[in-house]
Amino acid sequence: MFGYLLNSNNQLFELARQGSLEIPRFHGRTRQKVWECAYPLVAFLYAGLVPILSSFCSAPVILVNLASEQFSEYVLRNPTSSNSPIISSMFLVFSFLPFFLFIWGWLGVLEHRSFWTTGLERTGIWQKYSHGALVGTGMMLSPVVVLAMFGLIQVEVDPLVWAGVAALPGVLIMLVGWLVQGAAEETLSRGFLLPVFGIRYGPIWGILVSSIQFSFLHLLNPNLNLIALINLFLF
């Protein structure tokens, strides 16, 4: 698996090579060479700007949240915080769905290639997606099972938080937002940024830079610490 991933001719890199870096074009060969070398850095900065631009698209949901809570003092201080799974899921959809639009625009204007070259191929899509979902579910369940085996998990009862079977409807509603969020983050980090660096500086650089960028996406997460950042990078 690692041999395939580190191969500069793997499918993701081949898809990325379908485009051509044509804008801007400089008359001088040296200036053009400098631009092509600096292009990955510009793409990295743009990838960091995408979440900021996309966050403005959640403004309508913020208004809905404020109105639903009757503009209470707590919500005015925390406008993106909500106990409603519907509103929380809407936050994720409105905040992350624009990622795809920004990536599509960049690729179309600067690289002249299709959005689908980010690895979102339609051949065998359901088989691949189901396989990925099973692997991802297993990866999330395994540490929980290990912790439970050693008695390191304690179930807390909180009247303000749904738990057990009663939490399933909220989880299913949130799943819509998580699906959009996960796909958007992976498309930006792995589908867009990884091959941009990988086909110019080698796969290892593509993996390292995209992993750093993926970690940076979570800097505003609550209770974030150094261990969490390291785990995000390694994951």
Q: pLDDT category, 10, cuts 50, 70, 90?
A: confident
Q: What pLDDT is recorded for position 8?
A: 79
In terms of average pLDDT, the best of 15-29, 60-74, 92-106, 197-211 is: 92-106
Say if CB 57 and CB 94 are below 8 A apart.
yes
3-state secondary structure of 46: helix
**Helix 203-216 and helix 226-234, axial crossing angle in degrees, nearest 10:** 140
Q: Residue 100 carries which side chain, given as an amino acid letter?
A: F
Model confidence pLDDT, tens digit, residues 38-97 = 889 999 999 999 999 999 999 999 888 888 877 887 777 878 888 888 999 999 999 999
Locate tokens 């201080």: which residue?
77
Q: Distance between CA 141 and CA 145 in Å, rounded?
A: 6
Locate tokens 């200036």: which residue?
31
Residue 194 has pLDDT above 90, yes or no: yes
Q: pLDDT category, 214, cuts 50, 70, 90?
A: very high
Which parts of 79-225 fold into alpha helices (H)? 85-106, 125-149, 168-186, 194-201, 203-216
3-state secondary structure of 29: helix
- Which has the closest alpha carbon to 188: 20, 46, 41, 5? 46
Model confidence pLDDT, tens digit, residues 169-189 = 888 999 999 999 999 999 999
What number is the average pLDDT over the span 155-181?
83
Q: How far is CA 51 from CA 38, 98, 213, 216, in A?
A: 22, 9, 11, 10
Q: Distance between CA 32 and CA 45 in Å, rounded?
A: 19
What number is the average pLDDT over the span 218-228?
86
Two tokens, residue 62 = 């913020």
Residue 25 has pLDDT above 70, yes or no: no
What whole-number percentage of the chain has pLDDT above 90?
46
Query: In this structure, what are the phi and psi dihedrals at residue 10, rounded to the nearest 5 degrees?
Result: -70, 170
Locate tokens 């400089």: which residue?
26
Q: Distance between CA 145 and CA 223 in Å, rounded?
A: 23
Q: What is the pTM of this model?
A: 0.84
Q: Distance between CA 93 and CA 174 in Å, rounded?
A: 10
Across the chain, mean pLDDT equals: 87
